[in-house]
Amino acid sequence: MDSVFIEQLAVETIIGVYDWERTMSQRLLLDLNMAWDIRQAARDDDLQHTLDYAAVSEHVMTFAGEHSFQLVETFAERLAVELMQTFGISWLRLKITKPGAVPQARGVGVEIERGCR
């Protein structure tokens, strides 16, 4: 299976369950792996036939700025649905890291897989 990926995309969003987290934005890091057959794009050397990682990145940053969830689980689930519907992605793996949430850890968060390969 071919895929298009985005690593460590930094987004700013209001996220968290505690009162202080509802008043400020925090940084999340996203790793995305999205199934996409790249053969036609490679054959034609044409962006039209592939999944534009720049367009997906823009969409994710806009999504983060427009939503304010409590849980990273909700962020992940809602974003996965949004990306699959908007870009016609059949399968994706999405990891959301919230750096600094647990000071003793480099990162904490969730990783989900949705759809069929």
Ligand X SMILES: Nc1nc2c(c(=O)[nH]1)N=C([C@H](O)[C@@H](O)CO)CN2
- In the bound state with ligand X, the residue whose beta carbon lies nearer, of 42 and 71, is 71
95 is a catalytic site residue: no
Secondary structure (3-state) at 107: coil
β-pairing verdict for 68-69 and 3-15: parallel
For 77, half-sphere exposure in the C-beta direction (CA atoms, 13 angstrom radius) is: 6
- Catalytically annotated residue among 13, 15, 36, 98: 98
Among 30, 72, 76, 89, the residue binding ligand X under the rule CB under 6 A is 72
Size of site (CB under 6 A) for ligand X: 9
Convert residues 1-40 into a mask of x (bound to ligand X by CB under 6 A) and - (unbound).
---------------xxx--x-------------------
Among 10, 55, 71, 81, the residue binding ligand X under the rule CB under 6 A is 71
Distance (Å, whole) CA 23 – CA 19: 7
Please check whether residue 15 is in contact with residue 100, taking contact to mean a CB–CB distance below 8 angstroms: no
User: Does position 79 bind ligand X by CB under 6 A?
Assistant: no
Q: Can you read off the two tokens belonging to residue 49? A: 């036939």
β-pairing verdict for 91-98 and 26-35: antiparallel
Q: Which residues are catalytic?
A: 98
Q: Which residues bind ligand X (CB under 6 A)?
A: 16-18, 21, 71-73, 98, 101
